[in-house]
Structures are given as C-alpha cells and as structure tokens.
Amino acid sequence: MAISLLGVHHIAIICTDYAASKAFYTEVLGLEIIREVHRAERASYKLDLAIGNQYVIELFSFPSPPPRASRPEAAGLRHLAFAVPDVAAAIRHLEAQRVACEPIRTDEFTGRRFTFFSDPDGLPLELYEG
C-alpha cells in the first residue's frame, strides 16, 4: 500500500547571504513573507515564504554552510521550478533586476516555454509557462 501524499508542503533552501536571498525571493520574485524568525542559539534566520496563500519556501541562513554542487548536473535536487503565465514577461522583469536568464526553450513534450536562472547562491531556478 502506498503512502497517501497530499502534495508538496515546502522546499527548504539554505543561503549564504541572508539579506541578499531575502531580497531576491521577496523583492525580485515577489514571494510573500509569512514569518521571519531569528534563532540566536543557531546564529541563523528562518524565513517562511508563500506564493499567494500557499506556503512554499523555507529560507534558512546558517553560519558558513558548505557549498553544494549543482552544475554540471550533480546528483540530488536538480532545480526548483515556478509556474508563470508568460515566460517572456517574467524574463524581462528578472533582467530589469539584473538577473541573467538563459534563452527561452520549448518543452518538446508539452510545447510550453521555459527558462532557467539562478538565485544569489547559484541555485538553479526555472520559470515554466503554465
């Protein structure tokens, strides 16, 4: 018998520069802050972020986290994808914020357009037209 999954609850991300990542995810991508907690005993922050009313990202800061390989394609989580109504418009917004994006590609199976870009720590992110 399979487990009864209801959906994805959240994605946890550890950043190296909390202020830069907080600004990126809230000001550039527009995620909403649900809760921000400073954990003095761990010298870290935990920022809960939502898209609309859906909790999606838990952004953590820790002192001196070790780097994680993401490129070339390393084993593990490959990327985080966000659905957008118009990839070209989203790219224009990101590039106005000095966020470099790859050229638009088309998914050969769905016919939908997508692109990749990175967060301040180089985490690969995708915009997928939906």
45 in the same domain as 86? no
CATH number of the CATH domain containing 121: 3.10.180.10
pLDDT tens, residue by residue, 60-95: 999 888 888 777 777 777 899 999 999 999 999 999
Question: DSSP label at 24?
Answer: I
**In which domain, by residue range, is 104 found?**
78-130
Q: Is the pTM of this model over 0.85?
A: yes
Query: Which tens digits make up the pLDDT trace of 6-47?
Result: 788 899 999 999 999 999 999 999 999 999 999 999 899 999
In a domain, 101, yes or no: yes
Residue 42 lies in a domain: yes
For residues 88 and 58, membership in a common domain is answered with no
Would you list the DSSP string of 42-64?
Answer: GTEEEEEEEETTEEEEEEEE-SS
